[in-house]
Amino acid sequence: MLPIAFLEHESPGRVRLKVPSKRGDASFFQGVERDLADNGVIGVLKTNHQTGSITIWHTGDIDALRDDAAARRIFELRAERPGTSARAVVRALKPGGDTGLLKATGAGLIGFGLLQVLRGQTLGTASEFFWHSYAAQRLLGSPLLASALGGIGLLQLMRGRVLGSASGLLFYAVIVHSLAHAIEKERERAER
């Protein structure tokens, strides 16, 4: 089985990969430097066995590098680590975009949450908690938080508090559809 390299960061002409399973293995990273030295798209390749990273400045398509590394049995390149889809959310934001609005929105939501606590409205419906459980696993990569939120969802299900508002459920449907579409596009890109 080939070691898995994850795309940690990508910008035009440069990628940084992480190979967590080979972190600390100096001979593996020396082999990567040696085995990819003649790859036609690589300009400069630097490795760091202590951090498990490979930084590549390239002049071609990253898919060509992915195919070459797999064909030479060096590593399998994957788009991102499991549970790191929050990066996809960050990439979806416009480059150079102002995060002030996002921070203000977050602060506003915290304020509304505290207001609901004061009103005694502390728990949402089962559907909300199942959605939050999914998001905790998928976006945050936190199985513990996902399990806790799923457990609260089951509690609310037993209490008969099943469905959220129509607007909330429709919004969740839009998000799920968008995630499915993004995953399909990523698979298509990986198959090329």
The CATH number given to whatever domain includes residue 51 is 3.30.70.100
Q: Max CA-CA distance within the chain?
A: 66
Last residue of a domain, one of 28, 60, 78: 78
Last residue of a domain, one of 31, 47, 78: 78
The residue among 151 and 103 whose pLDDT is bigger is 151
Structure token pair of residue 65:
């590098």
- pLDDT tens digits for range 25-71: 999 999 999 998 888 788 899 999 999 999 999 887 778 888 888 99
173 in the same domain as 91: yes
- Is the Cβ–Cβ distance between 23 and 4 less than 8 Å? no
Structure token pair of residue 39:
């790859």
Strand order in the sheet with 53-58: 42-48, 53-58, 14-18, 4-11, 76-78
Q: What's residue 177's pLDDT? A: 74
Where in the sequence is the domain holding 182, given as residue range(s)?
Answer: 87-191
Burial class (CB in 10 A: 0-12, 13-18, 19+), 90: exposed
Q: How far apart are CA 57 and CA 46, in angstroms?
A: 9
| Count of structural domains within the chain | 2
Does the global pTM surpass 0.75? no
- pLDDT tens digits for range 91-150: 444 445 556 666 777 777 788 878 888 888 788 888 888 888 888 887 777 889 889 988
Confidence class for position 86, pLDDT limits 50, 70, 90? very low
177 in the same domain as 150: yes
143 phi, psi to nearest 5 deg = -65, -35
- Is the Cβ–Cβ distance between 168 and 158 less than 8 Å? no
Confidence class for position 81, pLDDT limits 50, 70, 90? low
Does position 158 have pLDDT exceeding 70, yes or no? yes
